[in-house]
Structure 1
Amino acid sequence: MASVSVSKETEDHNVEFDSGQQYMGPLFLVTMLFFMWGFITCMNDILIPHLQQVFTLQNWQAMLIQTAFFGAYFFISLGYYLISITKGDPIGRIGYKNGIILGLVISAVGCLFFYPAASLVSFGFFLFALFVLASGITILQIAANPYVTILGKPSGASSRLNMTQAFNSLGTTIAPLIGGYLIFGTIGEVEISADSVKMPYVALAVTLLLIALIFKLFKLPEIGSQGVIISDSGALKHRHLFLGIGAIFAYVGGEVTVGSNLINFARLPEIAGLDEAEASHYLALFWGGAMVGRFFGAVALADFKKNLNRFLIIGGITAISYLTIHYVYGGEMALYALAFIALNILVIIIGQFIPNRTLWLFGITGIALLIIGILTAGQLALWSIVALGLFNSIMFPTIFSLAIKGLGKYTAQASSLLVMAIVGGAIVPLLQGLMADLTGSVQLSFIVPLACYLYIVFYGVKGYRVEES
């Protein structure tokens, strides 16, 4: 199965996609991948405070977990890009299906490496295992993100990516609860030991291999022309893609940094004074906010004849979210969450369902929330940081779809460059960790992700515009 080769051919295929429901199955199957890599990625936020205690690490050393994980995105994507400009697009040669299966198998191997890493009590081995695990996820990202954007009308690309990314966020929401229970224990009474990570990651390896088997047996539709292989660096001549690479770097760096530090932030006496297990619940709400926001984004950016239909669906999602949080965490937390959900909906309405406008409005709101989190204390500061999840929600899928708009035969190549930019998750958390160590303040160090949101605002206002450099 080849990747997109010529934009005109892609448009012809889009007509076919819209004529029936035969592609709902493939879209559902690919959505399952988004869930899994979201779950796995968020497990890092549980590993950071746990391994920090096991190995007595400083803040910047603990952030090497994210550096190893997201560093793989850079090196694997860079290798992919170099191959694509010299030998032709690898996904175009082996097909989406085989690329996805390869990524799943490599990720499973990385999960299995956690067992010997824990047995040897080796932090270096843990970092190696994370690098291998993320290498497989990188391949999945390169294949799956552009595949989702071309399974339908180009105008609905942002909506479809928001929907699949919502299930990615479902994985990140569940991971802190399950991972926090398995690694920390229900009330933090589990002995601090590397062994507690063994079985969770073995279970993840088995799950990934089962999904690979399902993909092996399932027939995915072919997209684009067979045999047309692009082997030049034409993608980078597009200004909106080049600036979009920076926006993905900033978004992932900012989001991962906040998630990585949220547990330690909630543990501060002046914020909430929680233990790790209790703080993991707020981490789940942070990622849960991203999930809810992406469902909102999928609805808001989709093609609806009447706005009333949008608001009915958004109202239903809001009600389900409120009742779920009320049932799981209690009425007070549900009310805090409801207030920020209302703010999220208001910003979406002000954005008038226009992707780039909604993007920069979310960026400005994120900056405001970070400033509140830095300057205040107690529940207001904690919930301001937690609420960032809601406003991170539409950023990745919206930036991604804006950045590859109109690239035609260079879509897969552009995807590898954008996935390479996920290395922001390796660099920005390390910078915040260093700042926290130098200033002695985790709270003040949130200035680092604040700078990332400033760039996102720029991209939403001006950088997204399609014009060749």
Structure 2
Amino acid sequence: MNKVSLLSSSVRQQSLQAVALLVFLVMGLSGAMGPTLIPAIRVVFGLGLSSAMTVQWIPLVVSGLSSLILAQLLHRFGAKAMVLGGLGLMTVGCLQVRLAILAPFGLDARYGLMLLALAVIALGTSVIQVAANLLVVQLGHARTASARLTLAQSFNSLGVLVGVSLGTTFALGAKTTTAPTMALGIGQAFGWSGAINAAVLAAAAMVAAGAWGVSRTSQAGQAPIRAALGSGWALAGAGGIALYVGAEGSIGSILIPFLHQKSVLNLTLEQAGHYLGWFYWGGALAGRLAGTWLLHRGAPAKWLGMAALGAVIASALAALGSGPVAGYAALTIGLFNAIMFPVIFSITVERSAAPSAAVSGLLSTAIAGGAILSALVGWTGEHFGFAVCFLVPMLAYGLIALFAGFGALLPSVDKAPQDSRMTSSVGNLSERT
């Protein structure tokens, strides 16, 4: 290959990496606002906590039901088409939320339309998750996969922070907490999210015109899902993903009303929303940026175990403590969450003998398992109070720590060349360090 071709390949690879980071950003932005706005949604639709938590767990179910099929579609259509299609679905879903929340229908009809719109956003997120997570893992050497995915997830956290800030400012920051004002705020927040998604879609389409994509011929027929289902380690990783997603999402959904309580921090809903954004999700962002550096310098499974044990302690303090101790302990869980998803994902792919794409599809499907944890947290909050809710994620984090212990003992698996690299228009990227 001549120097011009090498330079061109380098530019294309850098463009691909930049687009991948933007994609992770908008995934976090659009996905975060629904759970953040649960206090406003309860007012707008007159819902109890269990009913409102549907906003948090319905997207998880959609993701789980679709991901195995999407893993097969990845090989049929390629990563380029999957990412662009996912961005398109997320953009449409955001606009649908705006129409649903402001439409002149009855309350029940509007809530159903809003859940449908959130399901469309979740489907778009799932489309991207299946393609983008595996793509990032395979953009370089296996030993740095956890660090690369952690960096990408840091942009996801940045998107979550932006999404939480938008939702808090428009819906929870209204001078009057009436249903019409909160409905208007929800519509405005998702309108902005849709516009940002559309801008990233346009940028991705320009880059995708010739810069990247998975070769269909090299990947066709390489996602036998049965192989992933028959891998004990892949199933263990799927369980870890389900536990993490359920714990992180359910805590994010209940933190605003938890911090709003007089017995904790006695914040206004707007203040609690900003605390959620800057401390809980901001902690995840800071932790992922730090984790990108740490994971280059230590065994990922070891760091995962330490983070999970930290989350166990923080969850226990939130459940059993009171006042500022409970409030700030709950907020620090975001920091401990930081590296969990990327490390669970990468060490599962590396240590399972099943094809990587099949494992990726299974792990994305496992996100649906988080819905069970979310529903359990909602039921616990209604019957025993917000503090007791934290005992549920505490147990989840304990199991993740156990998974990390086993992960530290297992070696990586050498896979067939076709499965271990992502062939694209920029060359065999996994051969680059």
State the number of aligned residues. 394
**Kindly, what percent of the aligned residue pairs are identical?**
29
Residue 295 of structure 1 corresponds to which residue in structure 2? 289
CA RMSD of aligned residues (A): 2.2
Q: Does 1:421 align with 2:371?
A: no
Q: Once the two structures are superposed, what CA deviation does each residue of 1:75-123 show, in whole Å capped at 9, x if it has no partner?
A: 1114335xxxxxxx31122111111011111111211211331113421
Which among 203, 209, 229 is matched to residue 198 of structure 2?
209
CA–CA separation in structure 2 for the residues paired with 1:149 and 1:385 = 31
Residue 99 of structure 2 corresponds to which residue in structure 1? 116
Residue 145 of structure 1 corresponds to which residue in structure 2? 133
Q: Does 1:226 align with 2:226?
A: no
Instruction: State the AA in 2 paired with 1:112.
Output: L
Q: Does 1:170 align with 2:153?
A: no
TM-aligned CA deviation for residue 209 of structure 1: 2.5
Q: Does 1:191 align with 2:185?
A: no
CA contact (8 A) 2:250 2:374 kept: yes
CA–CA separation in structure 2 for the residues paired with 1:152 and 1:224 = 17
Instruction: State the AA in 1 paired with 2:54.
Output: L
Q: Once the two structures are superposed, what CA deviation does each residue of 1:263-292 show, in whole Å capped at 9, x if it has no partner?
A: 011011110111210101210110000000
TM-aligned CA deviation for residue 224 of structure 1: 6.2
Residue 308 of structure 2 corresponds to which residue in structure 1? 363
TM-aligned CA deviation for residue 37 of structure 1: 1.0
TM-aligned CA deviation for residue 22 of structure 1: 4.9
TM-aligned CA deviation for residue 21 of structure 1: 6.4
CA contact (8 A) 2:83 2:131 kept: yes
CA–CA separation in structure 2 for the residues paired with 1:224 and 1:405 = 22
CA–CA separation in structure 2 for the residues paired with 1:467 and 1:165 = 22
TM-score, L = length of structure 2:
0.86
Residue 27 of structure 2 corresponds to which residue in structure 1? 37
TM-score, L = length of structure 1:
0.79
Residue 340 of structure 1 corresponds to which residue in structure 2? none
TM-aligned CA deviation for residue 60 of structure 1: 0.7
TM-aligned CA deviation for residue 192 of structure 1: 3.0
Which among 433, 437, 444 is matched to residue 388 of structure 2?
444
1:444 and 1:183, CA in 2 relative to 1: closer, same or farther beyond 3 A? same
TM-aligned CA deviation for residue 402 of structure 1: 0.5
TM-aligned CA deviation for residue 230 of structure 1: 2.4
The equivalences for 1:449-468 within 5 A come to 449-463=393-407, 465=410
CA contact (8 A) 1:239 1:467 kept: no
The equivalences for 1:365-384 within 5 A come to 365-384=310-329
CA contact (8 A) 2:227 2:354 kept: no
Q: Does 1:181 align with 2:164?
A: no
The equivalences for 1:270-281 within 5 A come to 270-281=263-274
TM-aligned CA deviation for residue 428 of structure 1: 1.3
Residue 229 of structure 2 corresponds to which residue in structure 1? 236
CA contact (8 A) 2:70 2:130 kept: no
CA contact (8 A) 1:256 1:429 kept: yes
CA–CA separation in structure 1 for the residues paired with 2:351 and 2:395 = 29
Displaced runs of 4 or more, over 6 A: none
CA–CA separation in structure 1 for the residues paired with 2:275 and 2:151 = 23
Q: Does 1:156 align with 2:144?
A: yes
Secondary structure, aligned partner of 2:266 = coil
Secondary structure, aligned partner of 2:123 = helix
CA–CA separation in structure 1 for the residues paired with 2:136 and 2:160 = 20
Q: Which runs of 5+ in 2 are unaligned?
A: 1-5, 414-433
TM-aligned CA deviation for residue 242 of structure 1: 1.2
CA–CA separation in structure 2 for the residues paired with 1:379 and 1:113 = 39
